[in-house]
Amino acid sequence: AQSVTQPDIHITVSEGASLELRCNYSYGATPYLFWYVQSPGQGLQLLLKYFSGDTLVQGIKGFEAEFKRSQSSFNLRKPSVHWSDAAEYFCAVGARIGYSTLTFGKGTMLLVSP
């Protein structure tokens, strides 16, 4: 069965500083990988996704993520954080075979300090 681990429950970053959110997955093959963001009281919005090809993927709002097969990781990065980035971030894995339901990690809450 597939699983996702987000080791950091909370992260605080100063506005303008760089950000990296960690995500590790467990899957028998190369999975489909996603990052979603959830603002308070809102649904999930897709930031970016990885299916194949270039392991560095660009997303919306200036985010990028890098797939590293050897580390089973798909970390999310942003070079300069804005106060509006404060939200909860979820990494998710989807299967390549059959119905591709998503398995989410428990999320990382990003706090941005002035």
Partner 1 sequence: DAMVIQNPRYQVTQFGKPVTLSCSQTLNHNVMYWYQQKSSQAPKLLFHYYDKDFNNEADTPDNFQSRRPNTSFCFLDIRSPGLGDAAMYLCATSLGAAGTDTQYFGPGTRLTVL
Candidate segments 12-20, 46-54, 63-71, 73-81, binder of partner 1 by CB under 8 A? 46-54
- Residue 90 binding partner 1, by CB under 8 A: yes
| 3-state class (DSSP) for residue 57 | strand
- Residue 106 binding partner 1, by CB under 8 A: yes
Which CB, 17 or 60, lies closer to partner 1? 60
Least Å from the CB of residue 55 to partner 1: 17
d(CA 17, CA 12): 10
Encoded tokens for 75:
């970390």
| 3-state class (DSSP) for residue 21 | strand
- Residue 71 binding partner 1, by CB under 8 A: no
Asked if 62 and 48 count as a contact pair (C-beta separation under 8 A), the reply is no
Asked if 39 and 19 count as a contact pair (C-beta separation under 8 A), the reply is no
Name the residues that contact partner 1, by CB under 8 A: 4, 9, 31-32, 34, 36, 41-46, 49, 51, 90, 94-96, 99-102, 104-107
